[in-house]
Amino acid sequence: MKDFFGDSILLGGEAACALYEKVKDLPIIDYHCHLDPKMIAENATFDNIGEFWLAGDHYKWRAMRLCGVDEKYITGDADFRDKFIKYAEIVPKLCGNPLYYWTHMELKSIFGINKPLNADTAAEIYDEATEKLRKMSVWSLLEKFKVEYIATTDDPVDDLRYHGKYGNTTVAPTFRPDKVYGLDGEYLARLGEVSGKDTSTLSGLLAALTDRLDYFYSKGCRIADHGFERFPTVFVSREEAEAIYAKRESLNADEKEAMFGFILGFLMREYKKRNMTAQLHFCVTRNVNPATFKTIGVDSGFDVMSNTPDPRELIAFLASIPDSERPDMLLYTLNDSSLSSLACVTGAFRNVRMGAAWWFNDTMLGIGRNIETIAEYSALGTSVGMLTDSRSFSSYVRFDFFRRILATKIGAYVESGEFDVAAAEGMMKDICYNNPLALTKK
């Protein structure tokens, strides 16, 4: 029997262990996350591990609900020590869930605690981890994990005052214009205010988006991000879009989709002009529980996978933008049931790649499936590896989680004599560092 969470955890075979050694200490390029740039700029500290872990982690909140924990101990007003103990009580139920791995990997790598978290150990671990945490800060955590680059998620109206260089970590903004597609009058007015443009016309809206994109670029932004349920399939001319925008307060479903498709296509072309990368996250249905959405709000663990992605919709969208006008694109599907079809589509259009296993798929099996599918239907060596997609500063263990799984997958090819060691080592370094680094250097 192996030691609990020993050094070889998730590594399958000698080749995997050797490949992992080549990349385990590489710096981290976190090109998509939801960290608070203000906390980074101010080098925030943490009072206790309960707050550190549970103040905003909807992964843990969801798991606690699945195990019947009362909402008082999740998003309610219970003390963080009590919340931590309630979480500890359900951890043994999570074997196989990525949270089980991340929880114990965080305890070991951040706090030097290598014992199972459960009801019996909860109080002891809370006290030991909290004592050590009080001597840490955001900057010390970023240094511990060798985080070289962080791309936060930012709305076009954000002022970006907190982005910059902190120690060895560059914190850059990501352009996330999802709110534009709702055509909400109050939001459009705010966009016009910060850009100095009149957003009452489509020309003014596009000028405002361009102005903010230039501002973001001047602040180091090299990556954009979009999240939606499905790709648009209705595409209209500039003249048709202007007419639709003029009556934006009373649009039917087809007109809304046409407006979405027009703006999304416009932005893709603007990203291409600036040599930026566009991340496209799709197949997500948000806030599906009306009662909890009303009382708890967004990003609280009530988003789910939507229907199986239709490759024909992706094809229609990609075909609407000529190869010469299409930016580097990374595709993330929350529902990976058509992953092979989507990966196949990337071979038919220039500048399109599959992204990391996203959200519900960043599991041991999900990451493995993503790696295997990209290898078989696309080109694994072009992968840009892992990201945190997190609001937690402890989430950087996810990179170690990924690197171990990747080493096992590639190591299996080496063990069987299908892949030479030198090429395997080069691929590991490219996926874990060189390829994601290239996203930031455009």
pLDDT at 343 over 80: yes
Q: What is the rounded radius of gyration, in angstroms, for the C-alpha atoms of the chain?
A: 22
Pick the more confident residue, 341 or 3.
341
pLDDT of 309 reads: 85
182 falls in which pLDDT band (50, 70, 90)?
very high
pLDDT above 70 covers a percentage of the chain that reads 100
Whole-angstrom distance, CA of residue 278 vs CA of residue 267: 9
Q: Which residues touch 99 (CB under 8 Å, ≥6 apart)?
A: 59, 60, 63, 91
Query: For 405-426, how does the pLDDT look when each residue is reduced to its tens digit (9 = 90+)?
Result: 999 999 999 999 999 999 999 9
**In 3D, which of 221, 171, 172 has the Cα closest to residue 442?**
221
Average pLDDT over residues 33-60: 97
The domains of the chain, with CATH numbers, are 14-45+137-440 (3.20.20.140), 46-136 (1.10.2020.10)
The pTM of the full predicted model, rounded to 2 decimals, is: 0.97
Query: For 128-171, how does the pLDDT look when each residue is reduced to its tens digit (9 = 90+)?
Result: 999 999 999 999 999 999 999 999 999 999 999 999 999 999 99
pLDDT of 347 reads: 97
pLDDT of 378 reads: 98
442 falls in which pLDDT band (50, 70, 90)?
confident
pLDDT at 1 over 80: no
308 falls in which pLDDT band (50, 70, 90)?
confident
What does the DSSP 8-state code read for residue 240? H
Residue indicated by tokens 């498709």: 261
- Report whether 332 contacts 356 (CB < 8 A): yes
Query: For 84-125, how does the pLDDT look when each residue is reduced to its tens digit (9 = 90+)?
Result: 999 999 999 999 999 999 999 999 999 999 999 999 999 999
**In 3D, which of 11, 30, 31 has the Cα closest to residue 21?**
11
- Tell me the helix, strand and coil percentages in the chain, rounded to 5: 55, 10, 35
pLDDT of 2 reads: 83
Average pLDDT over residues 233-254: 97
pLDDT at 183 over 90: yes
Query: For 323-340, how does the pLDDT look when each residue is reduced to its tens digit (9 = 90+)?
Result: 999 999 999 999 999 999
